[in-house]
A and B are shown apart, each in its own frame.
Chain A
Amino acid sequence: MKKILSFLALAALSATAASAQMLINGAGSTFAAPLYQKWFSEYAKVDPSVRFNYQAIGSGGGKKQITSETVDFGGTDGPMSDAELAAAPRTLWHIPTAAGAVVVSYNLPGDPALKLDGPTLADIFLGKVTKWNDAEIAGQNAGVALPDMDIVVVHRSDGSGTTYIFSDYLSNVSPDWKAKVGTGTAVQWPAGLGGKGNAGVAGQIKQSTGAVGYIELAYAKENHLPFADLKNAAGNYITPTTDSVVAALAGATIPDDFRFSMVNAPGDKAYPIAGATWMLVYQQQKDHDKGEKMVQFLKWAYTNGQKLGAAMDYAPLPDAVQTRVLDRIGQIKY
Chain B
Amino acid sequence: MASVAEDAPSPALRAHRGHLPDYSFRALAILAAGTIVALIVLVGAVLYSGSRLSIHKFGWHFLVSSRWDPVTEIFGALPYIYGTFMSSMIALVIAVPLGVATALFLTEMAPTRIRQPVVTVIEMLASVPSVIFGLWGIFVMIPWLRDHLFQWLRAGFGWLPLFSGPIYGVSMLAAGIVVAIMILPIITSVSREILRSVPNLQREAAYALGATHWEVIRIAVLGYARRGIFGAAILGLGRALGETMAVTMVIGNNPEISRSLFAPGYTLASVVASEFNEASSPMHLSALMEVGLVLLGTTILVNVAAQVLLRTLTGSGNRKIA
Contacts and interface: CB of A to CB of B under 8 A. Distances in A.
A134 interface: no
A185 interface: yes
A181 to B, nearest CB: 7
B274 interface: yes
B71 A204 contact: no
A193 B253 contact: yes
A196 B137 CA distance: 14
Interface size class of chain B, counting residues whose CB lies under 8 Å from the partner chain: 20 to 34
A321 interface: no
Contacts of B70: 159, 184-188
Given A193-B170, A193-B253, A207-B169, A157 B278 contact: no
Q: At the interface, is chain B mostly helix, strand, loop or mixed?
A: loop
A192 interface: yes
Contacts of A186: 70-71, 275, 278-279, 284
A192 B168 CA distance: 10
Given A150-B166, A203-B138, A204-B170, A158 B252 contact: no
B72 A60 contact: no
Contact of B277 (A150, A159, A182, A207): A159
A63 interface: yes
A157 B71 contact: no
A182 B72 contact: yes
Interface in A155-196: 157-160, 181-189, 192-196
B280 A64 contact: yes
Contacts of A192: 254
Interface in A201-255: 203-204, 207-208
A196 B131 CA distance: 13
A196 B252 contact: no
A185 B70 CA distance: 8
Contacts of B275: 157-159, 186
B310 to A, nearest CB: 38
B143 interface: yes
A158 B166 contact: no
Contact of B248 (A60, A187, A189, A196): A196
Given A61-B277, A159-B275, A192-B254, 8 more contacts: A60-B278, A152-B166, A157-B275, A158-B275, A186-B278, A188-B69, A196-B274, A207-B142
Interface of B: 67-72, 138, 142-143, 166, 168-170, 248-249, 252-254, 264, 266, 270, 274-275, 277-280, 284
Interface of A: 57-61, 63-64, 84, 150, 152, 157-160, 181-189, 192-196, 200, 203-204, 207-208
